Amino acid sequence: MNFPEFKNCLLTINEIIYFDSNEYLREKTSNPFRLREIIDMAEDLLANLTNEDEKYFLMGTLGNLYRIYGEPQIAVNILTKCVTIASNQNNSNREIVFLIRLGEAIKYNGDPMKALEIFNEALVKCKANNQLLYLDFAIQHKGKCLLEIGEIAEAEKCFKEALNLRELKGDVSLIESTQQALNFIQKLKC
């Protein structure tokens, strides 16, 4: 399998990933065997690539997939490398993206307070670099982390702020994701 074929394979990943309403809307897989196959394909491809952008993409993808697969420590290790690479390259966009992904992996690895620090770092970088493209993601993931530590009111504020930003973007899938989080909070309040 080559890199473009792998990227095409990823187009179907949402068919086996869902948000678990029993676990604070954490991403889970309905087909761990298929997810493992995709992880193995990515690992094999990564070992043979020379293009740095493709390697970086695969490392980020692997970080997310290992987190969802239930191996968050591997995800933390991979995503920490990605953040370091982005920082060394002074690529603030990539650094923000991978800080958000790293925060999620750290949260899944059982350290929500450290994850919250990472999400706040991503928010600071978004605002310092006027990087509005990822601001809604940083706020949304901070909200999900706050939700998990029982800070419901603060989480709700984050989700409302993320929703406003996402409505400005007009991305229906992002709006639905945030609305799902707000609906989850309403259920908790009942």
Percentage helix, strand, coil, to 5, in the chain?
Answer: 75, 5, 20
- pLDDT tens digits, 117-145: 999 999 999 988 777 889 999 999 999 99
pLDDT of residue 88: 93
> pTM of this prediction?
0.94
The C-alpha atoms of residue 69 and residue 58 are separated, in whole angstroms, by 16
Domains contained in the chain, CATH given: 3-189 (1.25.40.10)
Model pLDDT for residues 5-21, shown as the tens digit of each residue: 999 999 999 999 999 98
Alpha-carbon distance of 107 to 89, in angstroms, equals 26
